[in-house]
Amino acid sequence: MKKRLLLISNSTNYGENYLEWPKHHISDFLSKTGVKRALFIPYAGIALSDQGIESSYDAYEERVNRVFNGLGYNLYSIHRERDPVQSIRDALAIVVGGGNTFHLVYMLHELKLMKPIKEMVESGTPFIGWSAGANIACPSMKTTNDMPVIEPQSMSCLGLVPFQINPHYLDANPEGHGGETREQRLEEFMVINQNIYIVGLREGTLLTVGNGKISLSGKKPMRVFKAGETPREYSGEDDIGFLL
């Protein structure tokens, strides 16, 4: 298996700088590839500027690039490329930022980027995604938490891993809250989709995939769901190879 993936639940923990907690994981991941320049996909970042979506993409690229530059890497954004499909094929690494999963998936289908991204990553191009960017590595976006601000052509995603991720997974049921918990929402998914695992990936955690193996990093365990099975907790010391 040539795929090399870094799938991060969230970019920023409360009270920290942007990408502060995962930045050393990102650096370690990229250092093993020899890559110094990566293509950034900003399409989930639609509310980072009051000057319109293109300006939001600009702001997103600048924000992420500041962190990557500090680690010794450089990003260039696909929204500036004249031929987005060719830019995917030429990329040495692909980085997908978080934000609104519906808009991200809409754009990837609209620009016909799903297939070339999948082909490149499966042939060995390193892939990093956080939040929505991690969600799209799954077979579909159906376990996102996001508002459906736009309707994609399809909810199908890259299928780089055979399970679903629920980023920012929360156990909490706030006092006075009468709606469903996150677990109850995922149970609804499992009623319709009974043969697929879901990883509840808590904030401050990430999954690394490479050499046919998968591991969890971070200070919290992850919660794994599947229809007909009792949800289980897994720490970074546990073997989670069954997910692949």
Concatenating the DSSP letter of every residue in 81-137 gives: -S-HHHHHHH-SSEEE--S-HHHHHHHHHHTT-HHHHHHHHHTT--EEEETHHHHTT
Give dist(CA 116, CA 211) in Å, integer: 21
Residue 144: pLDDT over 80? yes
Residue 94: pLDDT over 80? yes
pLDDT on residue 176: 65
Give dist(CA 49, CA 156) in Å, integer: 28
Tokens linked to 215: 């591991």
Q: Is residue 23 within 8 Å of residue 65, measured between CB atoms?
A: no
pLDDT on residue 2: 86
pLDDT band at 179 (very low <50, low <70, confident <90, very high): low
- As a whole number, the mean pLDDT across the chain is 95
Q: Is residue 207 within 8 Å of residue 215, measured between CB atoms?
A: yes
For 12-47, the pLDDT digits (tens) are 999 999 999 999 999 999 999 999 999 999 999 998
Known catalytic residues are 131, 146, 168
Q: What's the CA angle centered on 204, arms 109 and 200, to 5 degrees?
A: 60
Q: Is residue 138 within 8 Å of residue 163, measured between CB atoms?
A: yes
Give dist(CA 72, CA 208) in Å, integer: 21
Q: Domains in the chain, ordered, with CATH? A: 5-168+200-219 (3.40.50.880)
pLDDT on residue 48: 77
Beta bridge partners of 152: none
For 44-90, the pLDDT digits (tens) are 999 877 788 889 999 999 999 999 999 999 999 999 999 999 999 99
pLDDT band at 177 (very low <50, low <70, confident <90, very high): low
pLDDT on residue 47: 84
Give dist(CA 219, CA 180) in Å, integer: 26
For 123-142, the pLDDT digits (tens) are 999 999 999 999 999 999 99
Residue closest to 151 by CA, chosen among 113, 96, 99, 105: 105
For 202-220, the pLDDT digits (tens) are 999 999 999 999 999 999 9
**Which position has the higher pLDDT, 88 or 172?**
88
